[in-house]
């Protein structure tokens, strides 16, 4: 028998070598208590959360929690069914109405996760003979959507509009083309570089899908994302998003103005062949989405936090993923995995949680400490965070 697990041996060895140094496993942290969107108890210690993507801090919003409790009482704990069978409740339709209002679009489809939204929409709209042109730094769910639909994948260099245009022009005339772009690329926190990326795609006959997972709620005048901020929202064909970041629960969605959009409900396998979200989840999502429409003050405070952290970390001597803060993600580049893990652990001992990201998930083989800010981090907390980075950085030799 060939042990089908043998392909994981290099990873098992790398992990064992790291853990033999006595370091806390960075991928096995337990939140023993969660006090708020910005504070939890980890290893018995009060810990500031700086790696949760809870950008707008909606997880403890009293209206959101009340809506979830009410739905749990009135509709039970789960639907036990697909959206196309017994799994569509009033709450699912109300959630889709909230999304249509939020984006001012004609159609909205709720999936069980953002991962499934990308998987489903991409694989269903672009099939075997179609081409998907995508930024090389795209999220795994986008790549998996391409693989599921069996489309031809044409990657281009991160945020390189000339490369995108060149690739588009090389595709056979008449072929189906879908360009997939993200609003904010989550590894380095980079923004989609130019509004022209959408225009170039359309001019070359492609449909455009944008994943606004890390920009919804925060970027754009109404929090609709980078497509709104760049003034191209009416030109994109599909917007994908998630409830697991700014919305503060779990789930995913696609909104669109395409006149035939509703047919996806019958042909999109990751929508049809899975159970729908529990009533409590869609009730919390709908309430949160409606509140996000009216959150300009929180958006402004989140930008302030992001700028303050970025400037402070640079001043301390850390190398960051972007020259300027472009989003609520600030990536600190570590020299290697060992140093990154040591710094991650030192921060945890200080009382700060960030994400450790390592290859292959990261671009160019980098090890990153990814920080994601929350609109509910106070100015004092950002000051505390910088103090912890200074102490941990000096203790591990990452800064002098």
Ligand X SMILES: Cc1ncc(COP(=O)(O)O)c(C=O)c1O
DSSP run (H or E) holding 372: strand 367-372
Instruction: Tally DSSP H helices, then E strands, for the chain.
Output: 14, 16
Compare residues 192 and 301 and give the one whose CB is closer to ligand X. Answer: 192
Residues 187-206 that bind ligand X (CB under 6 A): none
- Tell which residue, 20, 33, 29, 37, has the closest CA to residue 348: 29
CB of 118 to ligand X, least distance (A): 6
Among 137, 165, 182, 345, binds ligand X (CB under 6 A): 182
Among 113, 284, 295, 327, binds ligand X (CB under 6 A): 113
Among 186, 284, 355, 362, binds ligand X (CB under 6 A): 186
Beta-carbon contacts of residue 295 (< 8 Å; ≥ 6 apart) = 56, 217, 223, 375
CA 346 vs. chain centroid, Å, equals 26
- Residue carrying the six token digits 């302030």: 304
37 is a contact residue toward ligand X (CB under 6 A): no
Compare residues 206 and 247 and give the one whose CB is closer to ligand X. Answer: 247
Q: What DSSP character marks residue 99?
A: H
Site track for ligand X across 214-233, x = CB under 6 A? x-------------------
Residue 82 contacts residue 273 (beta carbons within 8 Å): yes
Beta-carbon contacts of residue 13 (< 8 Å; ≥ 6 apart) = none
Tallying the residues shown for the chain, one arrives at 400
> Closest CB to ligand X belongs to which residue?
114
DSSP result, 129-141: T-EEEEETT--HH
CA–CA gap between residue 388 and residue 254 (Å, rounded):
39
213 is a contact residue toward ligand X (CB under 6 A): yes
115 is a contact residue toward ligand X (CB under 6 A): yes
CB of 17 to ligand X, least distance (A): 28
CB of 321 to ligand X, least distance (A): 15
CA–CA gap between residue 4 and residue 21 (Å, rounded):
28
83 is a contact residue toward ligand X (CB under 6 A): no
Compare residues 124 and 396 and give the one whose CB is closer to ligand X. Answer: 124
CB of 250 to ligand X, least distance (A): 6
- Tell which residue, 242, 194, 253, has the closest CA to residue 215: 242
- Residue carrying the six token digits 């809870």: 54
Q: What DSSP character marks residue 240?
A: E
Q: Which residues does residue 210 pair with via DSSP β-bridges, in sequence order?
A: 181, 239
Among 37, 51, 68, 114, binds ligand X (CB under 6 A): 114
Structural tokens at position 94: 């109300």
CA–CA gap between residue 187 and residue 98 (Å, rounded):
29
CB of 211 to ligand X, least distance (A): 5
271 is a contact residue toward ligand X (CB under 6 A): no
211 is a contact residue toward ligand X (CB under 6 A): yes
Taking CB under 6 A as the binding criterion, the range among 39-47, 207-215, 281-289, 368-376 that sits at the site for ligand X is: 207-215
242 is a contact residue toward ligand X (CB under 6 A): yes
Taking CB under 6 A as the binding criterion, the range among 68-76, 99-107, 110-118, 293-301 that sits at the site for ligand X is: 110-118
Compare residues 47 and 242 and give the one whose CB is closer to ligand X. Answer: 242
Instruction: Give the other-Cβ count within 10 Å of 90's Cβ.
Output: 13
Taking CB under 6 A as the binding criterion, the range among 58-66, 109-117, 123-131, 256-264 that sits at the site for ligand X is: 109-117
CA–CA gap between residue 364 and residue 137 (Å, rounded):
10
- Residues in the interface with ligand X (CB under 6 A) total 14
CA–CA gap between residue 95 and residue 282 (Å, rounded):
6
Compare residues 245 and 301 and give the one whose CB is closer to ligand X. Answer: 245
CB of 346 to ligand X, least distance (A): 26
Among 107, 139, 358, 370, binds ligand X (CB under 6 A): 139
Taking CB under 6 A as the binding criterion, the range among 107-115, 152-160, 167-175, 221-229 that sits at the site for ligand X is: 107-115
CB of 186 to ligand X, least distance (A): 4
Q: Going edge to edge, which strands form the sheet with 367-372?
A: 329-334, 367-372, 355-357
**Contact footprint for ligand X (CB under 6 A):** 113-115, 118, 139, 141, 182, 186, 211, 213-214, 242, 244, 252
């Amino acid at each position: 028998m060939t042990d089908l697990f043998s392909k994981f041996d290099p990873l098992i060895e790398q992990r064992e070598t790291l853990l033999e140094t006595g370091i806390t496993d960075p991928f096995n942290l337990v939140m023993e208590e969660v006090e708020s969107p910005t504070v939890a108890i980890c290893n018995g210690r009060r810990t500031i959360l700086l790696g949760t993507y809870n950008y707008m801090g909606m997880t403890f919003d009293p209206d959101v929690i009340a809506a979830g409790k009410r739905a749990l009482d009135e509709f039970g704990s789960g639907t036990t069914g697909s959206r196309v069978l017994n799994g569509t409740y009033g709450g699912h339709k109300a959630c889709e109405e909230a999304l249509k209002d939020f984006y001012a679009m004609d159609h909205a489809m709720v999936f069980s996760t953002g991962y499934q939204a990308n998987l489903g929409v991409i694989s269903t709209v672009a099939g075997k003979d179609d081409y998907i042109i995508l930024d090389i730094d795209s999220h795994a769910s986008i790549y998996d959507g391409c693989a599921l639909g069996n489309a031809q994948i044409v990657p281009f260099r991160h945020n390189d509009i000339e490369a995108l245009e060149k690739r588009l022009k090389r595709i056979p005339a008449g072929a189906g083309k879908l360009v997939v772009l993200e609003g904010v690329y989550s590894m380095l926190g980079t923004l989609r570089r130019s509004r022209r990326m959408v225009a170039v795609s359309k001019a070359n006959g492609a449909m455009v899908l944008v994943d606004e997972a890390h920009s919804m709620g925060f970027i754009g005048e109404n929090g609709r994302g980078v497509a709104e901020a760049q003034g191209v929202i009416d030109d994109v064909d599909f917007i994908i998003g998630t409830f697991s970041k700014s919305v503060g629960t779990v789930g995913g969605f696609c909104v669109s103005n395409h006149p035939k959009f509703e047919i996806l409900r019958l042909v999109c396998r990751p929508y049809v062949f899975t159970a729908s979200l529990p009533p409590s989840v869609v009730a919390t999502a709908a309430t949160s989405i409606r509140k996000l429409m009216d959150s300009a003050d929180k958006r402004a405070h989140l930008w302030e936090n992001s700028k303050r952290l970025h400037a402070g970390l640079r001043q301390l001597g850390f190398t960051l993923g972007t020259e300027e803060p472009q989003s609520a993600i600030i990536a600190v580049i570590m020299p290697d995995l060992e140093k990154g893990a040591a710094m991650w652990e030192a921060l945890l001992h200080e009382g700060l949680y960030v994400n450790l990201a390592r290859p292959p998930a990261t671009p160019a083989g980098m090890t990153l400490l990814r920080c994601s800010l929350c609109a509910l981090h106070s100015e004092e907390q950002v000051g505390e965070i910088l103090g912890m980075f200074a102490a941990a950085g000096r203790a591990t030799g990452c800064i002098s």
